[in-house]
């Protein structure tokens, strides 16, 4: 007969505690125990949802009648109290378990990380926290546990095709069907809807949401959205007509990944040196500057800064409208949201909890399936925001994504290669590149250390069947098996694995912050980034005027529709976890914990450098400041 001490930690989220009855089964090399009750004497089990909202820990003693040998697994079981069983599932009581610690009669305590919700009557199978690659598990019980865990998750999280030609996604129709482990926390959900509802109510009361006509003036438009202005929004309003700010936004605006160096002038380039001489200044020429091109023709005039003010402004606004469509469909939706959903699903389906890559990546998948499922419900479904209030609609978005999927390649997702491919290594004032390369370097160093702990050779990478299945599923389900994409279908070296995992973490965190966090800042003043245009592009000069400019912009209701969405989707609604913040302690060994601390230290120094630089900038670039970057695509 042996006595074990059991310590249970419950999460801090509202509703994390439970009144249900709990028991554990200890599984060892020599057998397993019967269920051992954790008696909490009619009290709420680890009431982590008290007013302090802090994790709670409780201690128990359990007695085993037989020796089970070396402990392999811990089964945690939850069931309703006897009096409530006739009312199940009406009285279901979910519980969030952070970890369970088991101290045997002889030996050191064993920590079993969990960080999962247990709903209804059911069980969780937990392993001691040491990360293990599949070929390290020698005992048949552990090998079987890995297989059973992955089989259960594959049944829970399956793939579907939402639109042909898009990356595949989670097979769920609504967030109501999601299990608690991938849903927003209650606090985050409430904050999210309150944030959107506040603006909706304001615009509804003003009678703007249903007003289909034109804006009366630019002044009216500004007065409506003045209530939600930020320093960045105010700066955009003051400078949106300036050519310098028009150019600045290609470097550090909402879509800083598009600009590239032109190596030669197209043969059909219709702009001459004489046209742009006043802009270029003395001592240079078109051949030297390699400016942008436009297809020539009698109905395609070349608009210049020297033209009438409204002609030139309208021409730039058409460019900004195109920028809106490209950014929202390709840079934001495809390259960040849809791609990271693929990373998330493959991680859940192919990597067990004990795998070092699961422990490393799971913080960077937090809430991604929730926000993407919600987007398919409220944003990109037929008749929803994209369809009713943008120029392309869902059909146009779909065609853009389908076309781009044919040319999307691995280098676009790897920042150093992307910077080189676009030839923008030496453009001054390119803060997205400068800050992004620092973040990429910090993530790469962190990943390199973590990979070095668990993979001692290239052969160990090739022999990890779960890793290879993860990479293959991303290639086949996300990039639709297109070999021309250059996206790996397998990985053969530690170097390739480091780059791949760095790309995944960077995309889930920094890239999403760079192209998502500023949506409201740059779009709240709608003429700077209009989602649709009501009149066709001008076919001759001299047609533009203040009245025609207003008539070309989106109507009032479409403007409000899009800005409400961007207001809700630009800022994290509480329950945040900044890049490098890992309160869920999936790793229990000393080495990875040291690497995490070093990563956090590097990020803190990057933040100090960015904040110091920003003090001298008229418009601070904050979107890649590590405290601003969320670990995952969660909004």
Give the H or E element holding residue 124: strand 122-127
Dist CA 233 CA 392 (whole Å): 25
**What crossing angle do the helices spanning 243-252 and 231-239 adopt, rounded to 10°?**
140
The predicted pLDDT at position 121 comes to 87
Contact 167, 480 (CB under 8 A): yes
Dist CA 74 CA 631 (whole Å): 30
318-346 pLDDT per residue, tens: 999 999 999 999 999 999 999 999 999 99
Cα distances (Å, whole numbers) of residue 571 to 50, 237, 299, 386, 558: 27, 20, 42, 19, 21
Going by the DSSP 8-state scheme, the letter that residue 224 receives in this structure is H
pLDDT of 216 over the 70 cut: yes
The predicted pLDDT at position 268 comes to 73
DSSP bridge pairs for 31: 28
pLDDT class for 293, splitting at 50, 70, 90?
very low
Please calculate the CA angle 199-192-99 and round it to the nearest 5 degrees. 170
What is the mean pLDDT of the segment spanning 56-65? 92
The predicted pLDDT at position 106 comes to 87
pLDDT of 85 over the 60 cut: no
Dist CA 24 CA 35 (whole Å): 5
Cα distances (Å, whole numbers) of residue 63 to 37, 74, 101, 399, 619: 10, 15, 15, 64, 65
Dist CA 474 CA 343 (whole Å): 6
Bond into 425 cis (ω within 30):
no
Dist CA 526 CA 534 (whole Å): 14
Dist CA 79 CA 92 (whole Å): 9
Contact 61, 7 (CB under 8 A): no
pLDDT class for 300, splitting at 50, 70, 90?
confident
166-194 pLDDT per residue, tens: 999 999 999 999 999 999 999 999 999 99
375-425 pLDDT per residue, tens: 999 999 999 999 999 999 999 999 999 999 999 999 999 999 999 999 999
Least confident of 22-36, 114-128, 163-177, 274-288: 274-288
DSSP bridge pairs for 22: 38, 78
Q: Based on the number of CB atoms within 10 Å of its own CB, is 118 exposed (0-12), middle (13-18) or buried (19 or more)?
A: buried
Contacts of residue 95, defined as CB under 8 A and 6 or more positions apart, other chains included, come to 10, 16, 17, 18, 20, 22, 45, 46, 78, 117, 118
Place of tokens 């279908």: 489
The predicted pLDDT at position 260 comes to 95
What is the mean pLDDT of the segment spanning 283-292? 55
Give the H or E element holding residue 102: strand 95-103
Delineate the domains of the chain, giving CATH numbers in brackets.
Answer: 2-37+59-80+91-128 (2.60.60.20), 183-263+307-367+397-634 (1.20.245.10)
For residue 88, give the nearest of 96, 78, 97 by alpha carbon: 78
Contact 347, 470 (CB under 8 A): yes
Dist CA 113 CA 28 (whole Å): 18
């Amino acid at each position: 007969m042996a006595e074990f001490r059991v310590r249970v930690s419950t999460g801090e989220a509202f509703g994390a505690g439970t009144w249900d009855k709990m028991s554990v089964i200890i599984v060892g090399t020599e057998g397993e125990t019967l269920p051992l009750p954790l008696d909490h004497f009619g009290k709420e089990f680890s009431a982590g949802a008290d007013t302090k909202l802090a994790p709670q820990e409780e201690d128990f003693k359990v007695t085993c009648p037989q020796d089970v040998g070396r402990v392999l697994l811990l089964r945690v079981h939850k069931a309703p109290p006897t009096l409530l069983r006739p009312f199940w599932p009406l009285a279901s009581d979910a519980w969030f378990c952070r970890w369970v610690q088991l101290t045997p009669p002889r030996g050191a305590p064993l920590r079993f990380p969990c960080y999962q919700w247990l709903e209804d009557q059911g069980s969780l199978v937990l392993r001691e926290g040491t990360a293990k690659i599949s070929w390290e598990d020698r005992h048949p019980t552990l090998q079987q546990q890995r297989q059973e865990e992955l089989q259960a998750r594959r049944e829970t999280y399956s793939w579907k095709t939402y639109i042909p030609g898009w990356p595949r996604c989670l097979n769920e129709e609504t967030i109501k069907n999601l299990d608690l482990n991938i849903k927003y926390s209650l606090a985050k959900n409430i904050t999210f809807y309150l944030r959107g509802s506040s603006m909706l109510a304001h615009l509804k009361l003003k009678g703007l949401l249903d007003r289909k006509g034109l804006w009366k003036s630019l002044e009216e438009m500004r007065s409506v959205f003045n209530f939600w202005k930020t320093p960045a929004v105010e700066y955009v309003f003051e400078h949106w007509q300036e050519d310098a700010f028009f150019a600045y936004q290609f470097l550090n605006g909402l879509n800083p990944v598009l600009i590239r160096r032109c190596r030669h002038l197209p043969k059909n380039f219709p702009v001459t040196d004489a046209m742009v001489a006043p802009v270029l200044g003395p001592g240079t020429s078109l051949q030297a500057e390699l400016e942008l091109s436009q297809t020539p023709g009698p109905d395609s005039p070349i608009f210049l800064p020297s033209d009438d003010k409204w002609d030139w402004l309208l021409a730039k606004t058409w460019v900004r409208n195109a920028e809106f469509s490209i950014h929202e469909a390709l840079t934001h939706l495809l390259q960040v949201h849809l791609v990271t959903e693929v990373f998330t699903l493959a991680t859940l389906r192919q990597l067990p909890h004990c795998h070092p890559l699961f422990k490393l990546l799971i913080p960077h998948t937090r809430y991604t399936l929730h926000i993407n499922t919600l987007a398919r419900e409220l944003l990109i479904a037929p008749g929803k925001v994209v369809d009713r209030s943008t120029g392309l609609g869902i059909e146009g978005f779909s065609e853009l994504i389908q076309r781009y999927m044919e040319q999307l390649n691995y280098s676009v997702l790897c920042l150093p290669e992307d910077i080189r491919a676009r030839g923008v290594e030496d453009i001054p004032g390119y803060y997205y590149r400068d800050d992004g390369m620092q973040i990429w370097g910090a993530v790469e160093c962190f990943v390199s250390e973590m990979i070095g702990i668990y993979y001692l050779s290239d052969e160990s990478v090739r022999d990890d069947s779960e890793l290879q299945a993860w990479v293959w599923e991303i290639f086949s389900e996300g990039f639709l098996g297109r070999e021309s994409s250059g996206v790996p279908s397998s990985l053969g070296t530690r170097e390739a694995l480091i780059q791949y995992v760095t790309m995944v973490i960077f995309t889930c965190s920094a890239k999403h912050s760079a192209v998502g966090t500023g949506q409201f800042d740059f779009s709240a003043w709608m003429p700077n980034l209009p989602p649709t245009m009501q009149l066709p592009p001008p076919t001759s000069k001299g047609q533009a005027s203040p009245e025609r400019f207003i008539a070309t912009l989106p109507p009032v209701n479409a403007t409000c529709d899009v800005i409400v969405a961007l207001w809700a989707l630009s800022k994290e609604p509480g329950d945040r976890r900044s890049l490098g913040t890992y309160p869920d302690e999936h790793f229990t060994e000393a080495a990875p914990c040291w690497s995490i601390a070093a990563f956090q230290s590097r990020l803190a120094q990057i933040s100090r450098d960015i904040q110091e630089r920003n003090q001298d900038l008229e418009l601070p670039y904050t979107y890649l400041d590590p405290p601003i970057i969320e670990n995952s695509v969660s909004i």
